[in-house]
Amino acid sequence: MKILVCVTSVPDTTTKITFTDNNTKFNKAGVQFITGPYDDYALARAVELKEKLGASVTVFNVGEADAEPVIRKCLAIGADDAIRVNAEPIDAYFVAEQIAAVAKETPYDLILMGRESIDYNGGQVHGIVGELLGIPSISPVMKLDIDGTTAKMTREIEGGKEDIEAQLPLVLGCQEPIAEWKIPNMRGIMTARTKPLKIVQPAGQDSLTTVASYELPAPRGSVKMIPADEAETLITLLRTEAKVI
């Protein structure tokens, strides 16, 4: 079994976000990057399947050279090798096109990724990849087991969960609790330095979208403390200032 795990390099959730070029570009200066948390779940499950079924795991990333520490961490966790498309991940279609190009050249039984990245939160890539490859795409997957060529899954749906089965190959968008995050040990960190990391140039067309501008959320307002015995004052403020009732 061959598994491709697609990971994103995203700003740490504690990072202070700023923009440059008249708010049209994200400012990377001083930013700590991490593996997308949902991608971490996908990688963890892939490594478990490797240990259980003897699968091979390849990590895939669309990014520039500054994404390589994230890729090396994935190798330290248990992936066998990695591919980096040397390009900025501009939009969902562009990223999906790169994944599909690699998967057409080397077919994979499973293509795993997070249900969405935490920078743009688009949740589109897995669906586009499935369409480009002509194979099913399922998300968000919370449980995954493999029985021969059949994938048995549980996914989250509106108001509940759904148990489904599908034949390989598949594209899956993953989320918790599909697996527990894995922390690389010292042996993994050392061996990751010598694992293959292939760098390829982007395929297909340029992105289909451009960013007009980025905008930070409005700052939080001040807090007003209302004594517990002044319910009428609270109701008035909710109506006149907060305008939520």
* Per-domain residue ranges of the chain: 2-217
Tokens for 42? 């996908």
| Beta strand ranges found along 70-190 (DSSP E) | 81-86, 110-114, 137-147, 150-157, 160-167, 170-174
In angstroms, the Cα distances linking 12 to 52, 70, 90, 102, 201 are: 31, 12, 19, 28, 27
Residue 179 scores a pLDDT above 80: yes
* pLDDT tens figures, 44-75: 999 999 999 999 999 999 999 999 999 999 99
pLDDT band, very low/low/confident/very high, at 167 (cuts 50, 70, 90): very high
Q: What share of the chain is helix, strand, coil (3-state, %, to 5)?
A: 30, 30, 40
* pLDDT tens figures, 215-236: 888 887 788 888 999 999 999 9
Per-residue confidence (pLDDT) for residue 104, from 0 to 100: 96
Place of tokens 């060529």: 149
Are the beta carbons of 85 and 98 closer than 8 angstroms?
yes
Per-residue confidence (pLDDT) for residue 135, from 0 to 100: 97
On average, the pLDDT of the chain sits at 92
Per-residue confidence (pLDDT) for residue 205, from 0 to 100: 75
Are the beta carbons of 208 and 94 closer than 8 angstroms?
yes
Q: Which fold has domain 2-217?
A: Rossmann fold (3.40.50)
Per-residue confidence (pLDDT) for residue 128, from 0 to 100: 96
* pLDDT tens figures, 68-78: 999 999 999 99
Q: Which helix (H) or strand (E) holds 71?
A: helix 68-77
Tokens for 7? 């990971």
* pLDDT tens figures, 93-136: 999 999 999 999 999 999 999 999 888 888 999 999 999 999 99
pLDDT band, very low/low/confident/very high, at 166 (cuts 50, 70, 90): very high
